[in-house]
């Protein structure tokens, strides 16, 4: 890892001007190492839980002004601490030698436009299927409120392009999740755990809607906007104090 931090990709040491040894604060390098470990674990979980196949999908986490992101084309089970991959908010590679995910424009657009600290993008089966059928996920469950409201579908654009990032940002307005037409999902949050949980919730709701919609001669009962809003208020107090 020490050797990896020296190879920043732009001639600068990753720790230059960042370590706070004299103050007793944790070194920036240690924070990056922990964040990378969490990122790899989350990426592997997307495979284990069936949200991605092979190297599809990607995960990122922001540490200060550095965005750690999964590299392109590398199976998650092969990633090691030495494979740490980081970029600046303008997309310059500042950590590691691996090429970042091709979906980097989407990740950076989220960080530049929101207060998010983590982003998860998947090709989840049910969510991708729903993205081909509607422009907004029907209000089939009150957990829609946990994502900020009705989940929109971003119009299709070629993967890895700025156009896709633009479409995604519009769909994400006032939301923490969106569907990408004929593509997959994107969620964000204050932590990797929260972003991942939102991805799992979104995939589950899409599966519920598809299942209910498949019953011949029956139409799923949907919630109203007011009902979802009321659930959202209750969710704010959910859990232990």
Q: What is the pLDDT of residues 149-206, one digit of tens each?
A: 999 999 999 999 999 999 999 999 999 999 999 999 999 999 999 999 999 999 999 9
pLDDT per residue as tens, the chain (241 positions): 333 333 333 333 333 334 434 444 457 789 999 999 999 999 999 999 999 998 899 999 999 999 999 999 999 999 999 999 999 999 999 999 999 999 999 999 999 999 999 999 999 999 999 999 999 999 999 999 999 999 999 999 999 999 999 999 999 999 999 999 999 999 999 999 999 999 999 999 999 999 999 999 999 999 999 999 999 999 987 766 7
d(CA 140, CA 209): 6
What distance in Å separates the CA atoms of residue 96 and residue 93, rounded to the nearest whole number? 8
22, 30, 82, 103: the active-site residue: 103
Q: What's the CA gap between 235 and 15, in Å, rounded? A: 40
Burial class (CB in 10 A: 0-12, 13-18, 19+), 3: exposed
195 φ/ψ angles, rounded to the nearest 5 degrees:
-60, -40
- CB 150, CB 144: distance < 8 Å: yes
Distances (CA, A) of 99 to 69, 86, 91, 95, 186: 10, 9, 11, 10, 21
Q: How many beta carbons lie within 10 A of that of residue 235, not counting itself? A: 13
Q: Is 88 helix (H, G, I), strand (E, B) or coil?
A: strand
Question: Is residue 204 within 8 Å of 185, Cβ to Cβ?
Answer: no
- Paired residues of 93 in beta bridges: 87
* Sign of the alpha-carbon torsion through 83, 53, 102, 192: negative
Tokens of 144: 């829609």
Q: Is 103 a catalytic residue?
A: yes
Q: Decide the pairing of beta strands 93-95 and 184-189.
A: unpaired
């Amino acid at each position: 890892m020490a050797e990896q931090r020296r190879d920043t990709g732009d001639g600068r040491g990753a720790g230059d001007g960042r370590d706070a040894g004299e103050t007793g604060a944790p070194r920036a390098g240690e924070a990056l190492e922990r964040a990378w470990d969490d990122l790899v674990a989350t990426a592997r979980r997307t495979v284990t839980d069936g949200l991605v196949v092979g190297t599809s999908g990607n995960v990122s986490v922001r540490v200060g002004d550095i965005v750690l992101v999964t590299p392109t084309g590398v199976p998650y089970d092969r990633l090691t601490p030495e494979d740490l991959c980081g970029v600046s908010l303008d997309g310059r590679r500042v950590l590691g030698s691996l090429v970042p995910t091709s979906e980097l424009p989407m990740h950076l657009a989220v960080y530049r436009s929101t207060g998010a600290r983590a982003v998860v993008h998947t090709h989840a089966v049910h969510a991708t299927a729903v993205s081909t059928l509607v422009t907004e996920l029907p209000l089939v469950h009150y957990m829609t409120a946990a994502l900020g409201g009705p989940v929109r579908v971003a119009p299709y654009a070629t993967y890895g392009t700025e156009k896709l990032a633009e479409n995604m940002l519009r769909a994400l307005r006032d939301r923490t999740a969106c569907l990408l037409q004929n593509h997959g999902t994107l969620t964000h949050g204050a932590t990797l755990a929260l972003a991942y949980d939102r991805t799992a919730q979104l995939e589950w709701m899409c599966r519920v809607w598809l299942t209910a919609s498949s019953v011949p001669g029956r139409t799923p009962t949907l919630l109203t906007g007011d009902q979802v809003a009321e659930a959202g208020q209750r969710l704010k107090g959910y859990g232990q104090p």
